[in-house]
Amino acid sequence: MPYVPTGKLTDLPHGHPCETCPVRPITICRGLDAATLAGMRSLGTMQRLRSEQSAFHEGDPAKRVFMVTQGALKLYTLLADGRRQITGFMFPGDFLGVSVDEEYAFTVEALKNTELWWFSREAFDRFVGEHPQIERELYRLAAHELAEAQRQMVLLGRKAAAERLASFFLSLLERTERVSGERETSFDLPMTRIDIADYLGLTKETVSRMLAHLRSRGLIRLQSQSCVEVLDRDALRGMAQGETAEVLG
C-alpha cells in the first residue's frame, strides 16, 4: 500500500522522529528513515546561522540542498519595491531540496540561531541515485508540499484577516502536537509580527489587531508575546475554515 502523507507523524512510513512543519514551500521534511538521514548527513557539512543570517539569497546559484537540525528559518521573496512575501517557515527535520532551477527563487534566513547541514547538489544527486527508494519518497513529499501550497493560496486569495491568523495558529498548534506527539493547548511564535504579516499577506498592524480580536472573543490567550494559548479550539477551527459569517462582531 502506498504511503500517503496525512500530516500525522504516526502515519509516517518509517517512524523517523524528525518533526514536521505545517508551512513549508519547497521544503521536504519527513518520511526518510534514520539510516538514510545518517547517510545524507555523512555527505554534508554542518553550518550554524545566527539569528537574521541567511543560508542563501534569492538569485544565488542553487548549488546546495539543506536539512535543518536546530532552530527556525523563513523563506521569502521580494518584489522590486521591497514588498515581501514569506512563502514558508522551516523547522528541525525539514529538508530543502530545490532541484528545480539554476538559481534559488527565494531567500532563506534564520529566525533565531540555527543549525543546518548542506550538501552539494551533485553529492545529493549521487546519493539519491544510489538510494532509489528515496526518489518516490521525494515525489510524495513534494506532492504533499503542493497540497500545503494550495491551502496557502486559498488563505491568501479568499480568507479575511482574522481567518488567516486563525488558520496560521491552528497550523502551528497542530505542528506542535505532531512534534510532541501529544495534545497541546499552546504553541510558540518564533517569528515577529512582521514575519507573520508577510506570511499571511497582511501588515503588522492588522496582525496585531486580529490578535486582539481573537483574544477578545476568547479564542486565544497570550501567555507571552511569543506564546499563544488556545482557549477554544473548535471556534478557532471554525474561524479558520471561514464558517464565521460575521468575522468581526
Q: How many residues sit in the footprint of its own copies (CB under 8 A)? A: 55
DSSP notation for 79-146: -TTS-EEEEEEE-TT-EE--TT-SB-SSEEEESSSEEEEEEEHHHHHHHHHH-HHHHHHHHHHHHHHH
Q: Looking at residues 143 to 172 of the shown chain, list those that interact with DNA (rule: CB under 7 A).
A: 160-162
CB closer to its own copies, 151 vs 215: 151
For the CB of residue 102, give the shortest distance to DNA in the complex, in Å: 32
Contact between 61 and its own copies by CB under 8 A: the answer reads: no
Single residue of 14, 63, 209, 233 touching DNA by CB under 7 A:
209
How far from chain centre, in Å, is Cα 118?
18
For the CB of residue 106, give the shortest distance to its own copies in the complex, in Å: 7
Q: Grid coordinates 539569497 are at which residue?
A: 57
For the CB of residue 21, give the shortest distance to its own copies in the complex, in Å: 15
C-alpha span between 121 and 96 (Å, rounded): 11
C-alpha span between 65 and 142 (Å, rounded): 14
Contact between 206 and DNA by CB under 7 A: the answer reads: yes
For the CB of residue 86, give the shortest distance to its own copies in the complex, in Å: 8
Single residue of 155, 202, 236, 240 touching DNA by CB under 7 A:
202
Q: How many residues sit in the footprint of DNA (CB under 7 A)? A: 23
Q: Which has the closest alpha carbon to 124: 76, 62, 75?
A: 62
C-alpha span between 153 and 149 (Å, rounded): 6
- Give the interface with DNA as residue ranges (CB under 7 A): 160-162, 192-194, 201-209, 211-212, 222, 224-226, 247-248
